[in-house]
Amino acid sequence: MSRSLRDFSRIVVKIGSALLVEQGELKRSWLNALIADVVKLSDAGAEVLLVSSGSIALGRGILGLPGGPLKLEESQAAAAAGQIALAQAYADALGAHGKKAGQILLTLGDTEERRRYLNARATIGTLLKLGAVPIINENDSVATSEIRYGDNDRLAARVATMASADCLVLLSDIDGLYTAPPQQNPDAVFLPEVPRITHEIESMAGSAGSELSRGGMKTKIDAGKIATAAGTSMVITSGKELNPLQRLDQGARGTWFPALSSPASARKAWIGGHLEPRGEIRLDAGAVKAMTSGKSLLPAGVTSISGSFSRGDAVTLLNPEGRIIGRGLIAYDADEAQLIAGRNSREIEAIVGYPGRAEMIHRDDLVLELPALE
């Protein structure tokens, strides 16, 4: 597998609190160097998303909260104050290079519930299309311990799969995975690549490394399982020095976890085999022909709809003869789909009362059984 970030087209970079904030203050020189790396990758043709910790650590300093564990309401208040400063710092750093930032705050439900997942995925995709750099964090100001990730390693892996990224970079205070925690065991051996995450690999993970870090090697291995299964390669590398992404490309140490498939094929497999269809959509011959050439399903090509489904549910697709030709994730609830079936996409807003998506099923959310089309 490639170990150069320049060979990936969509990269998610996770930044830990300890790298970005020190004693309640933002490490601006480190952030500016990181953004310079991001801009270089962007100028070379890659799309980059940042999953950034730091709002609580920064807000702690802004609000003058003491060191040590915080109560839930103190953490939420710190996040509320810190998130403003953090977002502004990213916007300023990117703005110095003529780039735009777009902030997205997610909770566990946004990546686990299909309806909200599709909304978040669409927002990320639109920001990237418009040339902005998405800055993503868990919404710590409202999330409680019961409805949160609690670490940004697994959140970053979910974001990577949501965005169909082909690479996830976890910037850490350690330069990769060792056979044992190197701070405790001088005989620990560094692992440059992990072809597959086994029970033995999982047992090598230690605990959290600093007061600011809620994660640790365990959450990074958990992130690796999520990412690689969804077609995203992952690397754990040190972010302690300036320009960590450039350093990685120049051969700095890191542990690589190769993807087990491509993001597109992993997503298609998930849609095709792991979701229970909630309805059926019958198509005309023109729609079938358009989809076989790689296009999305538009409402105009739909002749009938059956079933009870919600936006984001899987539905079965039928050709004019009633034969199953595939399945996809529907962009409308069943009642709205009924109203716009057979109509031009330009009529959607007048029919449903809001400017909905032009596609009933986007091509990225579509899996065709090609033999059935012959």
86 vs 88: CA distance, rounded Å? 5
**C-alpha closest to that of 47 among 86, 6, 76:** 6
Task: Grade residue 372 by pLDDT with cuts at 50, 70 and 90.
Answer: very low
Residue showing tokens 């997610």? 106
Q: How far is CA 205 from the centre of its chain?
A: 23
pLDDT of residue 217: 87
Q: Which residue from 66, 257, 222, 258 is spatially nearest to 149, judged by alpha carbons?
A: 222
pLDDT > 70: what percent of the chain?
Answer: 92
For 180-225, write each residue's pLDDT tens digit. Answer: 888 888 899 999 999 999 888 988 875 444 434 444 788 899 899 9
DSSP single-letter state for residue 66: P
The angle that helices 114-129 and 152-162 make with each other, rounded to 10 degrees, is 70
How many C-beta atoms surround the C-beta of residue 196 within 10 A? Answer: 11
- Confidence category of residue 12, pLDDT binned at 50, 70, 90: very high
Q: What is the reported pLDDT for 146?
A: 44
Tokens describing residue 259: 């993807």
**120-162 pLDDT, tens per residue?**
888 999 999 999 999 999 887 665 554 455 578 989 998 998 8
Dist. CA 207–CA 217, nearest whole Å: 6
Supply the pLDDT for residue 168: 98
Task: Name the phi and psi angles at 179, rounded to 5.
Answer: -65, -15
Q: Which two structure tokens, joined as six digits, stand for 24?
A: 């309640």
pLDDT at 74 > cutoff 60: yes
Beta strands, E only, 79-126: 100-106
Res 211: pLDDT: 38
Orientation of helix 217-229 relative to helix 152-162, angle to 10° = 10
